[in-house]
Structure 1
Amino acid sequence: MFHQRSRHAKTPARETALAALDAGITAALPETVVDSTVALEGETLRVRDGEYDLERFDRIVVLGGGKATGGVAAALVDLLESRIDDGVVVTTAPDEEAIGPVTVREGDHPTPSRRNVDATRELLERADAAGERTLVLAAITGGASALCCAPADGLSLGALQETTNALLESGASIDEINAVRKHCSAIKGGQLAHRAAPATVVTLAISDVVGDDPSVIGSGPTVPDASAFDDAVAVLERYDLRDEVPATVAERLERGAAGEIEETPAEGDLAVANADWYALANGRTAVDAARDVARERGYEPLVLSSRLTGEAREVGRVHAAIGTEIAADGDPLEPPAVALSGGEVTVTVDGDGGDGSVGIGGPNQELALAAGLEFAASGTEAVLASVDTDGIDGPTDAAGAIVDGETIDPEDEETARRALAENDVYGALEDLDALLETGYTGTNVNDLRVLVVEGETPRS
């Protein structure tokens, strides 16, 4: 999975970190999770503890979006064979234009493009055509918020692009970002299920959201929206974005907060409230698989949390401190040990360094570089590898990075600290040969971090 793996696996600790990451990502692949959570028994479709009699339906349609929806669609076609009649999914880097009867459209992420809008229009047309005897299998995975793009009345694609970029650079959390996007959209916040009514809608989700809130994953296109226009306005105010987003967006949100525009479907909307929703995999899926690898290799594993959030560099420093504590004092566990975490860290862009340029990097890269600086300062012999499970960390071609106590030499320290301060870590990590690359993985369950402290040589 990892490109040039042998170059990065220079020590047993590094090899273990990479093996754990590999196992975590593999466990969250759509073909893996659909096989373990969805089954066809005669004419009964089982999704976890739910059952659906396929004889009740004249048509089965697959609709959805996200980085992993191509894999979900392929797994469903393999399972249901000729029973699926139609479908459209929007994803990144699709392998093909169709999976059986399901059309696959390529979109752009994280900033939506014209092809996202065109693909989403096609998806909504299929939803509008659904009838009472239609079963809609809605595949919603990480990335759907950007990939499924349908500007609300009065808004342009350009306005959504500018708003998305401003939100991503603000340091806002994913649920805050989605509160704004849902109220600028004609598909998010329960509106896909509303359009598909009176069809039976069953959502199959792969979660990229800490806590697995259905209304946040993919901006909740098939579930009631707990946020309101007031919440979206509050996000703009909280991050001083009122004058950073297009006037049409700010004015729409303010008009909605004043009651001049209809809210997104809430709990009382029967078309949305009656839709079923299942999480097939999440960040914990990846963390648990990584833990199993650590244990099998003779390390004492510890899950710090699968729900970590916060500023990337600060989370990196905390992980480095934990590694130092394990190495020095055997707390919170004796080495050889592996500490694992998942979640969604963010980066607040502090500025452009004064020359008008914009730094390049991603949250996992900033986290790793911050940890590497701490390892170098303390002399800790530990390894930290941090990746985004979709293989794309920020707007870069790297999944994340791997560092240890020898990654940053004294002569490189000043350059590394400057890069971190300027949110321009990609080049620094590339020079340090610390970037991890996987290419498009086919899944997305947030970040995965593996901290390895050797101590005594672990059992093979």
Structure 2
Amino acid sequence: MHLHEDLTFIREAALRAVDPARLVREQLRVAEGRLWIGENEWDLAELHDIRVIAAGKAAVPMAQAAGECLGASLTAGVLVTKTHHAAGHVLPDGFQVFEAGHPTPDMNGVRAAHAALRLLEDLTTRDLVLVLLSGGASALLPAPVEPLVLADLQAVTSLLLRSGAPIGDLNAVRKHLSRLAGGQLARLAAPAAVVTLILSDVIGDPLDVIASGPTAPDPTTYAEAWRVLERYDLLPRVPSAVREYLAAGRAGAVPETPKPADPCFARVTNLVIGSNRVAARAAAQAAQEAGYRPLLLSTFVEGEAREVAKVAAALMRSVRTYGEPLPPPACLLWGGETTVTVRGNGKGGRNQELALAAALALEGLPDMALLALATDGTDGPTDAAGAIVDGATVGRARALGLDLYAALRDNDAYPALEALEALLRLGPTGTNVNDLLVMLIA
């Protein structure tokens, strides 16, 4: 078996399964003067405006598909995606297009958020707002509540990311500092009908967490956002304006985000059209076609990347030694999103760190290879989507004079894996459904 070639075949199948444009086309149809989105149906003659907001790393292909389907029925749209994700694409007509910073928000994102806020003005019961949502939208549509400014959101985001906080904790805070997140887009759009098509990048697909849930009821509170900052010892470090605003929220001096019983959700439909599970199941099918016994273990994997890597390597050794949980040739699959607690000053991402730690745990073991993949094509603040390692990776590093243990200690996976030609560079994939871990044992 050709392990690295097989990993490429499996990866490509997984990404095809979560192609955003195809997933949107499956949900949206116009025929004979009528519009269908999922199970919702409208007479186009009775609709006044159809306005579209596309936000996230998959915003371009999602908006392209929606624009093709809606044609002249589209009134106006706002599209915001990550910097360089729109390059080389034919952008849909009728959209204001923005590229903005991620994971730390920037001024281009603020401009996009202002455009989205303007798009939500003066809506009536005869209007429809179609929201196309994918991972990254929390950072790409920063709309700080008054009196906060962009620098406040940047500081909070950076502190939480470096702390290793999971996405649910991060978004609990961001939702309470935003004018659009945490169901507030739905509040602004009322009384119009709202349909949100969602490409999920969050474990378990919780509507309130994906992209900070702009059209979903928010179960979190100002008190919970405060507790998150306490949990990671960040209260003394966040800007004073953030502390003061959250304190006012806890005291009831500013409105809460809308909760499930809020009437603003009466005409809102949220549909998850693609997820990590979809990609992982497609990867399992491809592995079977390549001659492996596939086993999808979980799409709920979380934890410190280097610790998750040790468990992955242990499972691979168990397959090789005991034929458990299944005999070779085997393909074990995980999906989810690990975290990295940054202790050093190096360069990398969670998938690169996981791959580096796995390489150390697999040292000297033949006929095994592991792929750690960020499905959006961007792992951390790098140009790599992840990496492929095997039992010979450490030996190759030693021959090159590389100290992989030192690289791991300094969170410096990128240069080590680059020197080993183990990095996976795909460019922006146009989709975003968390991470995949593919383990092959021949």
Q: Provide the TM-score with structure 2 as the length reference.
A: 0.95
Could you tell me which amino acid in structure 1 is paired with residue 79 of structure 2?
V
Deviation at 1:301, TM superposition (A): 0.6
Could you tell me which amino acid in structure 2 is paired with residue 15 of structure 1?
E
Alignment correspondent of 1:90 = 80
Q: C-alpha distance in 2, partners of 1:37/1:309?
A: 30
Could you tell me which amino acid in structure 2 is paired with residue 304 of structure 1?
L
Alignment correspondent of 1:150 = 143
Q: C-alpha distance in 2, partners of 1:32/1:327?
A: 38
Residue 362 of structure 2 aligns to a residue whose secondary structure is helix
Q: C-alpha distance in 1, partners of 2:50/2:123?
A: 9
- For residues 37-48 of structure 1, the aligned pairs below 5 Å read 37-48=27-38
Deviation at 1:414, TM superposition (A): 7.1
Deviation at 1:69, TM superposition (A): 1.2
Deviation at 1:167, TM superposition (A): 0.6
**Residue-by-residue CA offset, 1:33-68 (whole Å, 9 max, x unaligned):** 123333334334333344344333111111131111
**In the alignment, is the contact (CA less than 8 A) between 1:70 and 1:104 conserved in 2?**
no
Could you tell me which amino acid in structure 1 is paired with residue 61 of structure 2?
G
**Which stretch has the larger CA shift, 44-53 or 254-263?**
44-53
Deviant stretches of 4+, over 4 Å? none
**Residue-by-residue CA offset, 1:337-380 (whole Å, 9 max, x unaligned):** 11111111111112x3xxxxx22110000111111101106x25
Say which of 328, 337, 347 aligns to 1:360: 347
Deviation at 1:148, TM superposition (A): 0.7
**Residue-by-residue CA offset, 1:391-419 (whole Å, 9 max, x unaligned):** 00011110001000011117269711111
- For residues 276-355 of structure 1, the aligned pairs below 5 Å read 276-350=269-343, 352=344
Alignment correspondent of 1:432 = 420
**Which stretch has the larger CA shift, 330-339 or 49-58?**
49-58
Could you tell me which amino acid in structure 2 is paired with residue 21 of structure 1?
R
Whether 2:110 is the aligned partner of 1:117: answer yes
Say which of 381, 387, 404 aligns to 1:395: 381
Whether 2:252 is the aligned partner of 1:259: answer yes
Q: C-alpha distance in 1, partners of 2:185/2:213?
A: 9
Q: C-alpha distance in 2, partners of 1:231/1:40?
A: 43
- For residues 408-447 of structure 1, the aligned pairs below 5 Å read 408-409=394-395, 411=398, 415-447=403-435
**In the alignment, is the contact (CA less than 8 A) between 1:97 and 1:103 conserved in 2?**
no
Say which of 45, 52, 57 aligns to 1:67: 57
Deviation at 1:243, TM superposition (A): 1.5
Say which of 392, 406, 413 aligns to 1:406: 392
**In the alignment, is the contact (CA less than 8 A) between 1:224 and 1:273 conserved in 2?**
no
Q: C-alpha distance in 2, partners of 1:397/1:109?
A: 13
Alignment correspondent of 1:382 = 368
Q: C-alpha distance in 2, partners of 1:129/1:19?
A: 49
Deviation at 1:206, TM superposition (A): 0.4
Instruction: Give the fraction of aligned pairs with identical amino acids, expressed as a percent.
Output: 44
Gaps of 5+ in 1: 1-10, 353-357, 455-460
Q: C-alpha distance in 2, partners of 1:112/1:288?
A: 33
Residue 99 of structure 1 aligns to a residue whose secondary structure is coil
Alignment correspondent of 1:457 = none
Gaps of 5+ in 2: none
Could you tell me which amino acid in structure 2 is paired with residue 368 of structure 1?
A
**In the alignment, is the contact (CA less than 8 A) between 1:18 and 1:385 conserved in 2?**
no
Deviation at 1:18, TM superposition (A): 1.4
Q: C-alpha distance in 2, partners of 1:110/1:186?
A: 18
**In the alignment, is the contact (CA less than 8 A) between 2:54 and 2:62 conserved in 1?**
no
Q: C-alpha distance in 2, partners of 1:22/1:154?
A: 46
**Which stretch has the larger CA shift, 164-173 or 14-23?**
14-23
Say which of 174, 178, 185 aligns to 1:185: 178
Q: C-alpha distance in 2, partners of 1:285/1:52?
A: 29
Q: C-alpha distance in 2, partners of 1:325/1:40?
A: 52
Could you tell me which amino acid in structure 1 is paired with residue 371 of structure 2?
A
Q: C-alpha distance in 1, partners of 2:145/2:235?
A: 19
Q: C-alpha distance in 1, partners of 2:283/2:28?
A: 23
Whether 2:442 is the aligned partner of 1:451: answer no
Residue 50 of structure 2 aligns to a residue whose secondary structure is strand
Q: C-alpha distance in 2, partners of 1:47/1:329?
A: 50
Deviation at 1:262, TM superposition (A): 1.0
**Which stretch has the larger CA shift, 272-281 or 399-408?**
272-281
Q: C-alpha distance in 2, partners of 1:380/1:345?
A: 26
Deviation at 1:316, TM superposition (A): 1.1
Residue 120 of structure 2 aligns to a residue whose secondary structure is helix
Could you tell me which amino acid in structure 1 is paired with residue 434 of structure 2?
N
Alignment correspondent of 1:160 = 153
Could you tell me which amino acid in structure 2 is paired with residue 170 of structure 1?
S
**Residue-by-residue CA offset, 1:253-305 (whole Å, 9 max, x unaligned):** 12211212111111232113431100010101111111111111111110011
Alignment size in residue pairs: 437
Deviation at 1:98, TM superposition (A): 4.6
**In the alignment, is the contact (CA less than 8 A) between 2:295 and 2:332 conserved in 1?**
yes
**In the alignment, is the contact (CA less than 8 A) between 1:338 and 1:451 conserved in 2?**
yes
